[in-house]
Structure 1
Amino acid sequence: MIDPLRDLASVREATDRLLSAAAGLGDVGTAEPSQLPGWSRGHVLAHLSRNAEALVNVLEGRPMYVSAEAREADIERDAPRPLAAQLADVRDTAARFQAVGAVPADWSRTVELRNGVTDVAARVPFRRLIEVELHHVDLGIGYALEDLPEEFTGREIAFLAQRFSGHADVPPTRIVADTGEWQTGGEDGAPVTVSGAAPALLGWLAGRRDGADLDTAGALLPALPPL
């Protein structure tokens, strides 16, 4: 069962961890490459700030972004800022997201995200938690997939397995970790079992690792669509 208020508390804790870790970067470190191709750490921090604003829009019934072009332009505009400005923006926009989440509301209502994707409002805090946790890893400042909370890792694997479920380009796939098991992919083709440590499975599903450390019993590792 989704608990949005509990997830909001997790978002707050994850944001605090990220801000504390990023505080030691300095302006030079902010300009250095992140683990996301083509993005500096400044791009990652700018994206986190703009994403918080975008999810406030979602919860308040406005379009998530004005347009895809505006989203990209805002990130490029904000990426070169000094570290102090980046951290203040992440902190302030995170506080606004928390404030909107604290307003009594119908969490069962349907909200619209990017590209026509819809979801229940109750899942928006978890979607923000995904952004904060995975992009903390993407900063490349000592926080790895193995450092993610175990509960979060399992929930995110389930979330991504659901996202790829029914996708015609992905063969029927059984995902197996010592902490759980999930099904994903389409219905056509030979089934594939992919097993490994939960952080490694998450890295593959989230496009952060190539899956070389996963076991497929000799089968080809399924190619996943971009997120």
Structure 2
Amino acid sequence: MIDHARDLASVQDATERLLTAVGKLDNAAVTDQSRLPGWTRGHILAHLARNADALVNVFEGRPMYASAETRDADIERDAPRPLDVQVTDVRDTAARFQRTAAEPADWSRTVELRNGVTDSASRVPFRRWVEVELHHVDLGIGHELEDLPAEFVEREIEFLAQRFSGHPDVPPARLTDGTHAWDTGREAEEPAVTVTGGRADLLGWLAGRRDGSALTVAGGSLPALPPL
């Protein structure tokens, strides 16, 4: 069961961890390449700030972004800013997100995200949690998938497995860490491939952060996953 209040607290904790880590950088480090192709660390920080603004829009019934082009242009505009400006922007927009989410609301209502995707308002805090945790790793400043909270890792594996469930381009697959299993891919018209590995490696593969080479595959080859 989704607990939006608990997820909001987790978002706040994750944001503070990220801001503390980023605060130890300097202006030169912010302009360095991140782990995301084509993005500096400044791009990631700008994206996190603009994403918080976008989710405030979602809560308040406005389009998440004016357009895909506007979203991309805003990130490009803000990416070169100095460290102190980046940190202040991430902190201020995160606080605005928390204040908006704290207002009385119908958490069972359906909201619209990017590209026509809809979801329950109660799941939006978890989606923000995903942004903060994974992009902290993407910064490449010493925070790894293995450092993520265990609850988050399990829930994000489940979320991504569900996302690819029924996808026509993903063969049937059973993912397991040896103690827990998740099913994904299209309907089982053929024997499922079994993908085994540690949770950090499973999450890294599902989220497009690792190539899956650390995983063990039985019954076929490692499925190629579409981009998120």
- Determine if the TM-score, normalized by the shorter chain, exceeds 0.5: yes
Q: Residues 12-27 of structure 1 correspond to what in structure 2 (within 5 A)?
A: 12-27=12-27
Residues in 2 aligned to 1:184 and 1:109: alpha-carbon distance in whole angstroms: 27
144-153 vs 189-198, greater mean Cα deviation? 189-198
- How far off its partner does 1:123 sit? 0.1
Q: Residues 171-186 of structure 1 correspond to what in structure 2 (within 5 A)?
A: 171-186=171-186
- Asked whether the 8 Å contact 2:192–2:219 carries over to 1, the reply is no
Residues in 2 aligned to 1:101 and 1:177: alpha-carbon distance in whole angstroms: 34
Q: Does 1:29 align with 2:29?
A: yes
Cα deviation 1:38-75 (Å, max 9, x = unaligned): 00000000000000000000011100000000000000
Instruction: Give 1:52's aligned residue.
Output: 52
Instruction: Give 1:215's aligned residue.
Output: 216
Residues in 1 aligned to 2:206 and 2:39: alpha-carbon distance in whole angstroms: 20
Question: Residue 55 of structure 1 aligns to a residue in which SS?
Answer: helix
Instruction: Give 1:87's aligned residue.
Output: 87
Instruction: Give 1:203's aligned residue.
Output: 204
Question: Residue 51 of structure 1 aligns to a residue in which SS?
Answer: helix
119-128 vs 169-178, greater mean Cα deviation? 169-178
Instruction: Give 1:105's aligned residue.
Output: 105
Residues in 1 aligned to 2:219 and 2:18: alpha-carbon distance in whole angstroms: 38
Instruction: Give 1:61's aligned residue.
Output: 61
- How far off its partner does 1:178 sit? 3.7
- Asked whether the 8 Å contact 1:154–1:179 carries over to 2, the reply is no
Instruction: Give 2:145's aligned residue.
Output: 145
Equivalences, count: 227
Cα deviation 1:158-202 (Å, max 9, x = unaligned): 000010000000011101014521111002443111010000000
Instruction: Give 1:70's aligned residue.
Output: 70
Residues in 2 aligned to 1:200 and 1:56: alpha-carbon distance in whole angstroms: 32
- Asked whether the 8 Å contact 1:154–1:180 carries over to 2, the reply is no
CA RMSD of aligned residues (A): 0.8
Unaligned runs of 5+ in 2: none
Instruction: Give 1:126's aligned residue.
Output: 126
- Asked whether the 8 Å contact 1:164–1:185 carries over to 2, the reply is yes
Instruction: Give 2:193's aligned residue.
Output: 192
Question: Residue 29 of structure 1 aligns to a residue in which SS?
Answer: helix
Residues in 2 aligned to 1:191 and 1:220: alpha-carbon distance in whole angstroms: 11
Question: Residue 65 of structure 1 aligns to a residue in which SS?
Answer: coil
- Asked whether the 8 Å contact 1:179–1:198 carries over to 2, the reply is no
Q: Does 1:224 align with 2:213?
A: no
Instruction: Give 2:169's aligned residue.
Output: 169
Residues in 1 aligned to 2:179 and 2:67: alpha-carbon distance in whole angstroms: 39
